[in-house]
Amino acid sequence: MQRSVAATLADYIGKAAPSELIPGATRFGPLQGTPAIAPVYQNETLQGFAYLTSEFANATGYSGKPIQMLVGIDQAGVIKGLKLVDHKEPIVLVGIPVQRILDAVNKLIGTDMANVVRGGAASPQVDIVSGATVTVLVIGDSIVRSATKLIRSGRLGGAAIAATTSAPVSKIVDMDNSEVRDWQGLLADGAVRRLLVTVEEINQAFAKSGNAAAAEHPEDGEPDAAFIDLYAADVAVPTIGRSLLGDDGYQRLAARLKPGQHALLVAGAGRYSFKGSGYVRGGIFDRIELIQDGNSMRFRDRDHTRLGGVVASGAPELPEIALFSIPIDFGFDPVEPWTLQLLVQRVIDVREKAALTFDLGYRLPDALTKQQPLPAQTPKVATTSGPATAAPSPIPAVEPNEQPLWMRIWQGDLIKIGITVAALGTLVVIFFFQNALVRRPRFYNWVRRACLLFILVWLGWYANAQLSVVNVLTFANSLISGFSWEYFLSAPLIFLLWASVAAGLLFWGRGPFCGWLCPFGALQELTNGIAQALKVPQLRLPWGLHERLWPVKYIIFLVLFGTSLYSTALAEHLAELEPFKTAIILKFVREWPYVLYAATLLVAGLFVERFFCRYLCPLGAALAIPGRLRMFEWLRRWKECGSPCQRCAKECPVQAIHPEGHINVNECIYCMHCQELYFDDQRCPHMIQVRLKREKRDALSSPAMRGGKRPDTLITAGGRPIPSLNPTSPTSQA
């Protein structure tokens, strides 16, 4: 598998005309600085600059891949133009028209971002596009954050200044300074930063967290004892690297790193490990996270090298020492502040944990940096309308108090989240009290129809919360390429549904989703119910053919999964085998081939109930595989089921019951129809025998029988005759 390389402005600048980014512009100038920006000219007059959002801010979309936007911004900090040049967003690739996305984010054009940075205006918001909320918000957030970072850097004004007495400069690592220092000297000037959390401090932190259960499980030991003593440093800086690793160790590191790449040394002591006992080979270090300028990442095994110790004179004994290489595509800037965030987990019981975070802030000491002139800038030339204007005054770096994008999305969707949580809670109640419910078949059928209608209309057509096999492929690829919770949390309803599906797999298998939470599945079942009410003939495939069609959906899923390892975009296109986007997300408002395909599947479902679910759905196959790990068996069976009784097998809506009587949980949608029959003493042969015995017993205990009179025939409460047990009666003798 090829290693991904971070995109740069040079890769995309040719995909836009200058006038698309700044109206009236005629040409681009040579790229300047790192990250690169391109001057934009109208003839010889500088109009502003163009840049790529992903080089300045996190632009990772729901696909797990960056959404590449070119932005034009003038020297005063006003956004003048935008162009989407590359993306892998599935909903845009095969669903929502690109123009709808552009119409939403183009509302940012004309925004004075310099005024926003000064605090004179609120951060602008983009319009929401139904069905592509995450994609639009990620694009808008990346534009705002990247413009903010560029304005604060001072590069807009610096690039517009005419010939002056001093050239603009930037701060870089002083690679010529490589003196060796002792441990205390490194700590004293901040070359090595420390985070010390004592036992008393961690107990107080959990007590103040509001989690009463966590507060009831305090750490034992002396209050002043170290819970964790954590150290971090950028060892790609010569002075720090030579001091901590030694000359040989630093030379080996420098030979391994790519130009511009950096590496962090992280060391710890105390009773809490920053690596964690749950870390496994090939996995992710989930207790520490690198954060810089709104971007974050967790280190993977491939970034990690274990060290036995540090060579700096006076260094303490540190039982855990790790060297982490920062991937080049993270865009790490060594002279800008960064944070190593530590996640501290406290086990409450076998199923619950509480967590807090602590920040180790780092800024490279000024003594280890130096100033260098920026690349030569094109002098400003007077326009035909008059002399060139002076550069705008520097803008104070006011740090906006903004929450992460995913938190803002959750806060904006509180009503939908509340309704979804209530619906999921109702479904849990239905499942846990299913035996009481199915004993009342008429009431249960109305409850099920109401649930399916809610899932289709509200969750599907209104909230667009339709899960897809694309989610599975995205999740799998994110584990390979670098997992981040941020873009999964950016879709609250999808996240809640996946969390509930994951829990449901342990209890009931794939059934809770396929039978109760899938809007397209609900659409199939409701339309088939209408067809049956209209006496549309129902086709029942022979068992041998039906059993051989089951594996088709598993083959489809494996093909999609294998394709995603080669090309996620291609796999997302092939995933159009699912009609979910057409029928649910876009409500059939789409090109006619997609509509025809979805309609064909629904028509097939009128004759074969849930035709798509049974034989073609790759998502159902993906859920069935881990669904085999379920911990409980909730569906009851009598010993007569399958031999000789076949009633449940013949009446199962999706033919998930084998002729020998057992239920195939891989195919079961948990409609509970078999459980209705299980308790029905009018239809289930076993229960009919139980009822007859009960009625005979009740009849024999009637007042007439207690008087010693044994009639030839007993009449039950239901009006059905039961032969007498009197051996002398004609009926008994017969």
**What pLDDT sits at residue 181?**
92
pLDDT of residue 208: 84
The residues with which 60 forms a beta bridge, in sequence order, are 66
What is the model's pLDDT at position 631? Answer: 78
**Amino acid identity at 30:** P
Closest CA to 136 of 485, 412, 478, 332: 412
The residues with which 45 forms a beta bridge, in sequence order, are 42
Q: Residue 664: its pLDDT value, please? A: 87
Omega of the bond prior to 492 within 30 degrees of 0, cis? no
Amino acid in position 268 = G
Using the 8-state DSSP alphabet, how is residue 94 labeled? T
Sequence-distant (6+) residues with CB within 8 A of 233 are: 186, 191, 192, 193, 240, 244, 264, 265, 362
The position carrying tokens 């083959």 is 555
pTM attached to this predicted model: 0.52
Residue 400 is predicted with a pLDDT of 41
Determine the pLDDT at residue 457.
93
- pLDDT at position 384: 33
Q: Residues 221, 198: contact at Cβ < 8 Å?
A: no
> Of 1, 12, 89, which is closest to residue 569 (Cα–Cα)?
89
Q: How far apart are CA 532 and CA 653, in angstroms?
A: 12
3-class secondary structure, 408: helix
* Average pLDDT per 10 consecutive residues for the chain, totaling 734 residues: 56 89 91 87 89 82 74 91 80 63 86 82 71 72 86 66 42 87 91 92 85 80 90 94 92 89 93 71 71 76 85 91 88 89 76 75 90 53 36 40 64 86 93 90 92 93 86 77 66 87 88 91 94 92 90 93 81 86 84 91 94 93 85 82 86 88 87 87 86 83 62 51 46 35
Q: What is the pLDDT of residue 732?
A: 36
Q: What pLDDT, on a 0 to 100 scale, did the predictor assign at position 81?
A: 92
Structure tokens given for 421: 């949580």
Phi-psi region of 669 (alpha: psi -120 to 50; beta: other; left: phi over 0): alpha
* Rounded Cα gap, residues 502 and 522, in angstroms: 20
- Taking alpha carbons only, the member of 191, 144, 187 closest to residue 334 is 191
User: What is the SS3 assignment for 513?
Assistant: helix
List Cα–Cα distances, 521 to 570, 601, 612, in angstroms. 25, 11, 8
DSSP bridge partners of 226: 198
